[in-house]
Amino acid sequence: MNIQAPAIRTADDFLRWNEGREGRREFVGGRIVEMMTGGTEQHAELMMQLGFVLKSLLDPSRFVVAGSDYAVRTPLGVRYADVLVKARMPGSGKSLATDRPLLVAEILSPSSLAIDFGEKAQDYTALHSLLHYLVLAQDEPRVWLWSRGEDGAFEKPEMTAGREEAVELKGLGITLALAELYRDIA
């Protein structure tokens, strides 16, 4: 569903307008787009677990791990990822969005499948700062990882499945064990 708001023409307009509003929406291609609310327990738990694992592996003096309330500025507008990692910058604590995420993660739901693998993958991987785009299944230990290669281009996504597997995020210097991510979830 699109919301008609003619005064909103830029990402900054949208961020100011959207701050504190109920509901979820993104700003894509000059349009305000309603997002799904009311995700499953598995989705919510996996989102929190991913954030927790990332926070435990990354140096908090160097990195910020944020959830879906913090926006990502993309070439097409503003998106709200389930989880993101960015470099900690002095004075950025009150910002509403980043245009320099290092990792963006989305957790699949039936309604987001095509968008997470299509539009969002293109939108996020167009960001020069992004090192990794991670998509996680919520009903089984299965993830897809896009990583920036040495030539600066994103490689085709690699799928990893199974509790005994792990995903290496070379750009961040960490490895995510699927058994840890999916503990008590799927």
pLDDT value at 2 more than 80 = no
Residue 22's SS3 state is: coil
The mean per-residue pLDDT over the stretch 27-32 comes to: 79
Confidence at 186, pLDDT banded by 50, 70, 90: low
Domain made up of 39-181: CATH architecture: Alpha-Beta Complex (3.90)
Name the residue ranges covered by the structural domains of the chain: 39-181
CB-based contacts of 116: which residues, under 8 Å, 6+ apart?
106, 108, 135
- pLDDT tens sequence across 64-104: 999 988 999 999 888 989 999 999 988 777 888 999 999 99
pLDDT, residue 24, reads 78
38 pLDDT band (50/70/90 cuts)?
low
Residues 6+ apart with CB under 8 A from 110: none
Q: What is the pTM of this model?
A: 0.86
Q: pLDDT tens digits for 119-148?
A: 899 999 999 999 999 999 999 999 999 999
What pLDDT score does 13 carry?
Answer: 81
Is pLDDT above 80 for 29? no
**Rounded-to-integer distance, Cα 7 and Cα 5, Å:** 6
Q: Which of 69, 87, 66, 86 is nearest to 78 (CA)?
A: 69
The pLDDT value given to residue 56 = 97
Residue 1 pLDDT greater than 60, yes or no = no
Indicate the average pLDDT of the chain: 89
